[in-house]
Every structure is written in C-alpha cells, then in structure tokens.
Amino acid sequence: MVLKIEQKLIFAIFLLFQIFEIIANESCILSTGKAGVCVPIKTCERDLDAFVFETDFCANNFSEICCESVNLRISLDESPKEIKTTRDFESYASYKLFDSSKCGKIDEIERISGGEEADLLEFPWNALIGYQSKTALEFLCGGSLINEFYVLTCAHCLVNPNGRIRLDVKLVRLGEYRKSTTEDCKILSDEQKLCADPVQDIEVNRRNLIVHSDFSYLEKIHDIGLIKISKAKMEQNNIKPICLPFEERFETLPKSLVVIGFGRTEKSSNNSDVLLKAKVQTISNEKCFDEFKKAKSNIYFSINNDLQFCAGDIRDSCRGDSGSSIQFPQIFEGTTVRQVQYGIVSFGDIDCGSHFPGIYTKIYPYISWILENVK
C-alpha cells in the first residue's frame, strides 16, 4: 500500500515538472491565429504536415513547434517507437552508406521567414549539374546529395531524347548559394558575420551516370537517376546530405512541401542567381492532369499515381530546377526533426506565373532501386 502511494506521488511530481516546463516556455501565435506555447515536437499531437511551413515552428530551428494547449501530450513513455521499414531496406549492403545521424539536419542558425529566397545554409544538400557548351559551362539541372558519393537527380537531365547518355555533363557543384559571388555571407542579429564554406566542383565521369532502365523520355515515367561522385566534403557547413524516406510512413505525402532550385521567377525570364524556395501544396493527380488538358491539346503523357505526384503554389511552379529536391521536415527515427526528400522535380509548365502545377517523381517507390545502384 505504501509502495503504491509512493509511486503515485512520484508520478504526480513528474507531471508537475512537465507542466511547469510547459508553462515556462514562450507563448506563440499559430498561423491560424490561435494562441499556443513553444514546446518540443514530440510533446504536441499535431501532425507536422498540418503546419504552415516555418510560421508554426519556434526559434526558427524546427526543434520546437507552436502547439495549442489542447494538443499538448504529457507521457511517461519517452522511448522512441519502433521504426517500420518495408521491403527490408536494411538488408541491402548499401543501406549502411546512408548515415542517419548526418542527413537532413536543421541547424539553429536564425532564419529569415517567408520570401522567395532560401536562407544561407538552409538547404546544404542542393546540387547543381554543369553542362559544357561550346562557349561556357551552364548549370541547367539540379540534384540532391544523398550521401558522400552520390547525387540524386532526374533521368532526363542525364540522357538525350534518344535515350543515350549526354556527353556534355561536365561536373556537379555542391554548396552553391549565390552563383555570382565567390563567398556567400550573412550578418546575424548580433552583428556577427556568418559565411558559407567554398563550393566544391566535382568532375563527372560519364560512366558514373546512372539512369533508370525503364525511363521513357516521351512518357515522362521513371524519371530518376544517380550521379556517382568523388567524396563530397561533408565536413563543410554548406555540404550535407538530405534524408531519404526509408520509413514506411513516408509513403504518404504531406499536404505541404518545399521545392528548391535556381529556377526562374515571375519577375525575370532568367534563372535566379540565388537559391530559391517555394512552399507548394500537393494536388490530386486527376486534378493536375485536368489542368494540363485544359491548356494543352497535345498531351502525350499520363500521371502514374504510384510513381508520380503533383504539387503547385499560387504564385508559380517553376522555381525548382529539373532534378532538384522537394522536401519537408518530419520526425525522423523517433525523436529528431530532419528534412526528408519526398520527390524529384520532373516536369511541368515552363512559363512562370501561369500557375500550372509541377510533376514530381516519388522517391519512396524507388528506394530499392537506389539501394541497388549505390555501391
């Protein structure tokens, strides 16, 4: 009897500590206009994909979220839940080449909320693919660093319409933020200067361009590829890998995603000098296809529900480069929040401001293919 009383007393004290900790946290206002409190993500019952990007996160670092009091969760069970994977991904020898302790990290550097431009060091996995023309090196496609030796991109950036490997693929550039400057810096609120490390240019051997064997340039299906590179300098602050969706739950897309790249904007017909980002909403493939049919009579492709998805925003759909990543922060491996890549920019409308959605290659159905081709 005494033991039970002691257990109840300990439990009550524990609850009081948790309640006091919550009360001590900063108050905040959700994007819905309701009042909330800044708490660790695992103590709030809201789903991450229900948040409005950035505005519902506290401290600009994604470690805490603005949680309405009715959604607060107080629990003694602090142990991570079992992570479910499908298709036995861990059985692949290459699985160990993906270090979950390093991928998709969201640092605590103060961020500029909103706007078209990405912030310095916000997306350190973004890659540029350089093509050698007769007169210059041109960066025409993007990609994402997924580990020290591989960049993920789309197949149509690596092959010609006839299906042959492009001969003009010259290099991969990692760590780029502003193309016109050799050093990228920002001034923090305390007047301290933060600078990105130098970019890393890695020459590409054409034998290291890997394209899905069933890719169809005409039908736009299986639009996924890999580039094997020499070792990325991941010790630099501007070169880090993104997390891939190895967990079963990542098969379901969030309502909102963020696409990045050096694509064009409504204000300019030229590619952007600085890395851009845009929050987009997922759209049903049926509605997406209808939008294309309304404006284009020569539709020669379909959208595969299992392998592709549509997303767009109210401003434009061409901010991302072909091959660039589309991602969203999620709870990863139980407790930490990481950026997880859900798709690859595949194709869409080329006219900025016309409000057409973009079409993306889903990554989850191709995890086995990626693991089979990463050596």
The set of catalytic residues is 156, 223, 322
Which pair of structure tokens corresponds to residue 122? 């916000």
Given a contact cutoff of 8 angstroms between Cβ atoms, the answer to whether 248 and 85 are in contact is yes
Taking alpha carbons only, the member of 203, 214, 211 closest to residue 165 is 211
* Token pair 């009383």: residue: 5
Given a contact cutoff of 8 angstroms between Cβ atoms, the answer to whether 201 and 171 are in contact is yes
Taking alpha carbons only, the member of 227, 207, 217 closest to residue 167 is 207
Which pair of structure tokens corresponds to residue 42? 């695992």
The identity of residue 373, as a single letter, is: N
**Residue 246 C-beta-side C-alpha neighbours within 13 Å:** 25
Rounded distance, CA 126 to CA 276, Å? 11
Rounded distance, CA 61 to CA 64, Å? 7
Given a contact cutoff of 8 angstroms between Cβ atoms, the answer to whether 289 and 358 are in contact is no
Which pair of structure tokens corresponds to residue 131? 């093509």
Backbone CA torsion sign across 228, 100, 237, 274: positive
Longest CA–CA span in the chain (Å) reads 87
C-alpha 115: how far from its chain's center? 17
